[in-house]
Amino acid sequence: MKKIVTVIGARPQFIKAAPVSRAIEGENNLQEVILHTGQHFDENMSQVFFDQMGIPRPDHHLNIHSLTHGAMTGRMLEGIERILLQEEPDWVMVYGDTNSTLAGALAASKLHIPLAHVEAGLRSFNTRMPEEINRILTDRVSQLLFCPTPAAMKNLSKEGFDAFPCQKINSGDVMYDATLLFREKARRPRHVELPEKFALATVHREENTTRHKQLMNIIRGLNDLADQCPVVLPMHPRTRKLTDGSGLPAFSGNIMVIDPVGYLEVLYLLQHCQLVITDSGGMQKEAYFFKKPCITLRKETEWTELVEAGTNKLCGSDPALIMEAFRQFTSTPPRFTGGLYGKGNASAIIARAFL
């Protein structure tokens, strides 16, 4: 029996872990121990995902959150190391590019425990983003690299990984697995009267929420777009805190600001919206899964294939570019072709790689 300690801590990781944990549970020779760092601690950002998606309850919870990047990563590293010494796993598995990811990777590496990275090989080529640093360092110390796309495989080859003591696997994207698994269970957000037609928006990245001018321009862009199409905006706690009494423009009356919602409610909003406006990496893919055009509030993306396919436009925080993208998508809806993210069996491929 091989023991895998899975380190998770943020909303996207809960979604990715759901189908993989199911696949691991279906293998007789694998045991999974889940370690939750606590990076997302609000009930609507964390617990609701475990409840809705049937993710096994964490075996360990570090409850580490609301700190600077260095302090958070350092405390997570210390806590994860303590758990790994206790559990003595055969593998550590991490997801994505958060502080929880990097802390789990460093802890495993320093204890000489083999590391598996789900969503390996992604690159935005913007090293000012904390996520870019996290994913590069995690890849470098991993022995199993599960790449969601051929482009991710190529990125690793260009960086010399073919000569490293590791195995690269083009597994496909586990978020696609999750969408296929849960889309029939999507449910309407409670106590929310949705417009008949609307755009779905999310804003949470540090580069957008901590820079006053960028956040101001994004609000202006959303307000301009809302004059043409109502906007539903589940508000990330960090963004809400920054916009309250900050001197930023008020949201238009056509923007419906709601509390964060669970994954099944997100799926409902994705099913019924006209388009997506986001700075989230995961939401860019989810828009594609539901055949919805996506306006990305960043200047670059790790999901370059979406831009190349014409379903995603990079607009940064420029209100004019946001409106231009909206008009283009409205007048000429993009064509969606399948197959960019595998066949929906990424989780099974990942589980079997540990056998």
Confirm if 351 and 337 have CB atoms less than 8 A apart. Answer: no
- Identified catalytic residue from 36, 204, 236, 272: 204
> Rounded mean pLDDT of 289-298?
98
Fold of 187-331: Rossmann fold (3.40.50)
Helices (H), 248-345: 263-272, 281-289, 304-309, 319-331
pTM for the model stands at 0.93
What pLDDT is recorded for position 57?
85
Q: Tokens 């990984």 identify what position? A: 161
Q: At what angle do helices 174-182 and 346-353 cross, to 10 degrees?
A: 130
Percent of the chain with pLDDT over 70: 96
Tens of pLDDT, residues 231-270:
999 997 767 777 776 678 889 999 999 998 889 999 999 9
* 122 closest CA partner among 148, 92, 101: 148
What pLDDT is recorded for position 262?
87
For residue 166, what are the contacts with CB-CB under 8 A and spacing of at least 6? 142, 143, 144, 145
Distance CA 262, CA 11 (A): 9
Q: Tokens 């957000």 identify what position? A: 189
**Nearest-5° Cα angle at 2, 23 to 143:** 85
* 265 closest CA partner among 179, 185, 180: 185
Domain boundaries, the chain: 2-172, 187-331
For residue 185, what are the contacts with CB-CB under 8 A and spacing of at least 6? 52, 264, 267
CATH number of 2-172: 3.40.50.2000
Tens of pLDDT, residues 182-204:
999 999 999 899 999 999 999 98
Both tokens assigned to 262: 């669970």
pLDDT over 70 (residue 49): no
State CA 132 to chain mean position distance. 13
What pLDDT is recorded for position 12?
87
Is residue 204 annotated as part of the catalytic site, yes or no?
A: yes
Tens of pLDDT, residues 143-196:
999 999 999 999 999 999 999 999 999 999 999 999 999 999 999 999 899 999
| Equal fold, 2-172 vs 187-331 | yes
Secondary element (H or E) of residue 209: helix 206-209
Please name the amino acid found at residue 29.
N
User: Using 50, 70 and 90 to split pLDDT, how confident is the model at 45?
Assistant: low
Confirm if 171 and 350 have CB atoms less than 8 A apart. Answer: yes
